[in-house]
């Protein structure tokens, strides 16, 4: 099978969409399929035979993101690739290019709706602009999904959200899984030694992801301050970076907890990231708008229990408190559940085992097989027409 992936975000950017694309691509290639990536070219982009780069420009409100000039090359090359199916991951310039190719060459197009765009309108500077942003994100999302053969979403909550927008085309829930070998890489002792941390006298709780307003990290700071009232020997490790980091660091200073926190910055090395997950006694997450929360599944895959706010895609993972605890967006409740997990060794062991088993069921191999089944079905339908 020859597959074309279209995205407006790709390496060296670090985010959930990029992780998803790379994970599925690697698994598809292991299965013997050929995958070709169409992506924006950035300063540190690495040239590869299967990647076709397009000139791009920074999106001012979010300078870590780029938008591609979809007419800046490779249009003649596309026909020679003789692709069987197209898969878009963003409904922007390269997403629309995928739609054009789909119509022009009668190739089925599948779209993964990764991001709840209405939760990003706060990056638009004016109230009128934000209102317009909500209208555009819902209507543009509906139009784009309706133009595709089918849409994939990472959680049941996202399926319901798109249906609320008026999407009536087929929608399938296929989360991004975790590679089976992720739990076998990384070493807690190595990362702890790197940062001179002695876990004989301290517990670690960790967050991983972008440091952005929509991630609701402020909530975790209040939770951490609450926990420190009863358990002083805890280090809060924040893995990641982003525009909102100065705000979070200042808030930590104001709350008097900055000296008990470690900000690692972006970690692109999967081995080091896995090491941090293993070093943590608990993983915490508080985003109210997450479509899946892949980092939660990564933490679970190495046996680290999770405490997360019960919202959007998170509910699909921690249903019935499997592998950790789901909490209302209430500081006291979240802090109580986290404290209980850290204090009760038997409970921690139970939740750790649950987390490992859940992650195995949602492996990258299993999720990719489900995606390939959809690919083949759409190809079969297209070739019969």
Confidence of residue 117 (pLDDT cuts 50, 70, 90): low
Identify the pLDDT of residue 318: 85
Distance CA 317, CA 10 (A): 25
Q: Which residue has the higher pLDDT, 316 or 233?
A: 233
| Separation of first and last alpha carbons in the chain | 19
pLDDT score at 347: 98
Residue 43 near residue 53, CB atoms below 8 Å: no
Average confidence (pLDDT) over 332-352: 97
pLDDT on residue 121: 45
| Across 266-282, average pLDDT | 95
What does the pLDDT read at residue 133? 54
Give me the percent of the chain exceeding a pLDDT of 90: 68
What is the C-alpha separation between 203 and 183, in angstroms, rounded?
21
Quick one: what percent of the chain has pLDDT higher than 70? 90
Q: How confident is the model at residue 4 (pLDDT cuts 50, 70, 90)?
A: very high
Q: Average pLDDT in the 125-152 region?
A: 75
CA dihedral 83, 73, 90, 111 (to 10 degrees): -20
Ranges 67-76, 193-202, 219-228, most confident: 219-228
How big is the CA angle at 64 (ends 58 and 67), to the nearest 5 degrees? 40
* pLDDT, tens only, 41-94: 887 778 888 999 988 776 655 556 667 766 656 677 898 999 999 999 988 889
Residue matched to tokens 């980092």: 295
Q: What is the pTM for the complete model shown?
A: 0.82
| pLDDT, mean over the chain | 89
Q: Where are the alpha helices (DSSP H) in 82-212?
A: 93-105, 127-147, 156-165, 188-194
**Residue 120's pLDDT band (cuts 50, 70, 90):** very low
Instruction: Please check the confidence at residue 131 and state whether its pLDDT lies above 50.
Output: no
Determine the pLDDT at residue 200.
76
Q: Which domains does the chain have, with CATH numbers?
A: 2-177+364-384 (3.40.50.2000), 180-361 (3.40.50.2000)
Q: Report which of residues 64 and 215 the model is more confident about.
A: 215
Q: What is the mean pLDDT of residues 272-300?
A: 92
> What are the pLDDT digits (tens) for 305-330?
999 999 877 878 887 899 999 999 99
Report whether the peptide linkage leading into residue 60 is cis, meaning its omega lies within 30 degrees of zero.
no
């Amino acid at each position: 099978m020859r597959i074309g992936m279209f995205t407006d975000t790709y390496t060296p950017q670090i985010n959930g969409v990029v992780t998803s694309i790379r994970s599925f691509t690697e698994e598809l290639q292991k299965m013997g399929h050929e995958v070709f990536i169409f992506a924006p070219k950035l300063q540190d982009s690495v040239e590869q035979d299967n990647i076709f780069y397009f000139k791009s420009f920074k999106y001012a409100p979010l300078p870590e993101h780029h938008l591609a000039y979809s007419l800046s090359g490779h249009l003649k090359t596309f026909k020679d690739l003789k692709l069987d199916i197209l898969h878009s991951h963003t409904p922007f310039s390269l997403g629309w290019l995928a739609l054009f190719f789909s119509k022009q060459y009668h190739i089925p197009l599948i779209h993964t709706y990764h991001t709840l765009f209405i939760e990003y309108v706060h990056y638009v500077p004016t109230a009128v602009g934000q209102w317009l942003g909500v209208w555009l994100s819902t209507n543009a999302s509906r139009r784009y999904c309706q133009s595709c053969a089918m849409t994939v979403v990472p959680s049941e909550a996202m399926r319901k959200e798109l249906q609320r927008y008026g999407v009536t085309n087929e929608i399938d829930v296929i989360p991004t899984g975790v590679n089976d070998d992720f739990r076998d890489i990384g070493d807690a002792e190595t990362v702890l030694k790197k940062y001179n941390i002695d876990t004989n006298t301290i517990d670690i709780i960790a967050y991983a992801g972008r440091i952005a307003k929509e991630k609701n990290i402020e909530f975790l700071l209040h939770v951490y301050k609450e926990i420190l009232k009863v358990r002083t020997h805890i280090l809060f490790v924040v893995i990641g970076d982003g525009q909102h980091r100065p705000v979070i660091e200042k808030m930590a200073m104001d709350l008097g907890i900055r000296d008990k926190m470690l900000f690692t910055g972006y970690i692109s090395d999967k081995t080091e990231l896995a090491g941090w997950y293993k070093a943590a006694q608990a993983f915490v997450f508080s985003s109210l708008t997450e479509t899946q929360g892949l980092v939660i599944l990564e933490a679970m895959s190495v046996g680290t229990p999770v405490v997360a706010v019960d919202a959007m895609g998170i509910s699909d993972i921690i249903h019935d408190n499997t592998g950790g605890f789901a909490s209302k967006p209430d500081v006291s409740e979240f802090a109580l559940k986290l404290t209980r997990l850290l204090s009760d060794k038997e409970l921690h062991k139970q939740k750790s085992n649950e987390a490992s088993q859940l992650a195995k069921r949602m492996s990258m191999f299993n999720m990719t097989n489900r995606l390939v089944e959809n690919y083949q079905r759409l190809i079969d339908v297209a070739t019969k027409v």
